[in-house]
Amino acid sequence: MILTAALILDALVGEPAWLWSRIPHPAVVMGQMVAALERRLNDRSRRGGVLALCLLLLASGGLGWVLSFLPGPLHVVIVAILLAQRSLTTHVRAVAEGLDAGLDQGRHAVSMIVGRNTETLDEAAIARAAIESGAENLSDGVVAPAFWFVLAGLPGLLIYKAVNTADSMIGHRSARYEAFGWAAARLDDVMNLIPARLTGCLIAVASLNRAVWPVMWRDARRHRSPNAGWPESAMAAALGLRLSGPRDYAEGPSNDPWLNPQGRDPDRRDIVAATRLMWRAWGLLTALLALLSLTLWLV
């Protein structure tokens, strides 16, 4: 019941600005740890990256083990802090609100949640970026943390969050990070293999659209990521959109294939529709976990 309660608490409270303006968010602390390890150990070799990752795993797993001795109600709060459903949907919906005010505002809003170059994006590209980010981060920020908490408790959850943070910071194919960030990027891929596919299934079921399944099965493997294609292709099919495709990142252009290529280009209304579907997927996940907890309690 801890995880179910944490999902609900996160959905109700999110990330209150009054709290995180006074103390650092755990994700910020993890980011500072990754940055410190990178400064000290990045010799642009895989060996340095593996060492940094091992130290990160020991620190996060050890902290999780210590926190696991706290009372159950505090477990709920800790897990809720490390979930991101409310903040994620808020940031994605903010892109639609930005587009309502103009392209420049939409570009600024989407630049807060994606790593690609947003300076020349039109409305369709802005909406596409927001929807893709929402689908992928539904896995990274909600389903995967829940999965690893179920599997390995607080140590598993903190290890996952640390690895995911490291991947977002150093898992890039640039001269500085390609070798050093290799271990973090590969472990993040492994840890997201099951959650990403679960997220795609949750989106498919929540959409009440049987046509999502064959599109997801066909197109997920086209994505350059071994995991992101599953929730993104499910979202594309559920909303009748084409997602992914060519885009520009800081490290250079990427000529990715389209997901659901027969779909239409999205607009600001589709961003709102995507956030609604994300909430339905969240509701399905929460209901399934509550049912599982009740079944285990009765047994």
Mean pLDDT of 52-80: 96
Positive or negative torsion for Cα 166, 169, 172, 176: negative
Residue 57 has pLDDT above 90, yes or no: yes
The pLDDT value recorded for residue 160 is 98
Of 90-104, 137-151, 176-190, 252-266, the least confident? 252-266
Six token digits for residue 137 = 């981060």
**pLDDT given at position 207:** 98
- Banded pLDDT at 2 (limits 50, 70, 90): very high
Dihedral angle over CA of 101, 104, 108, 114, nearest 10 = 110
Rounded CA-CA distance 70/106 in Å is 43
Answer whether residue 259 shows pLDDT above 70.
yes
Task: Classify burial at 290, counting beta carbons within 10 Å of its beta carbon; exposed 0-12, middle 13-18, buried 19 or more.
Answer: middle
Burial of 69 (0-12, 13-18, 19+ CB in 10 A): exposed
Q: Return d(Cα 113, Cα 175) in angstroms, integer.
A: 23
What number is the average pLDDT over the span 71-80? 94
Q: How far apart are the first and last CA of the chain?
A: 14
- Check whether 252 has a pLDDT greater than 70: no
Per-residue pLDDT reduced to its tens digit, 148-162: 999 999 999 999 999
pLDDT at 198 over 90: yes
Rounded mean pLDDT, 217-224: 94
Whole-model pTM: value is: 0.95
Q: What is the mean pLDDT of residues 52-78?
A: 96
Residue 115 has pLDDT above 90, yes or no: no
Classified as helix, coil or strand, 112 is coil
SS3 of 252, please?
A: strand
Mean pLDDT of the chain: 94
DSSP 168-231: HHH-S-STTTTTTTHHHHHHHHHHHHHHHHHHHHHHHHHHT-TTHHHHHHHHGGGSSSTTTHHH
What digits encode the pLDDT tens for the residues 21-55?
Answer: 888 888 899 999 999 999 999 999 999 999 999 99
Q: At residue 251, does pLDDT exceed 70?
A: no
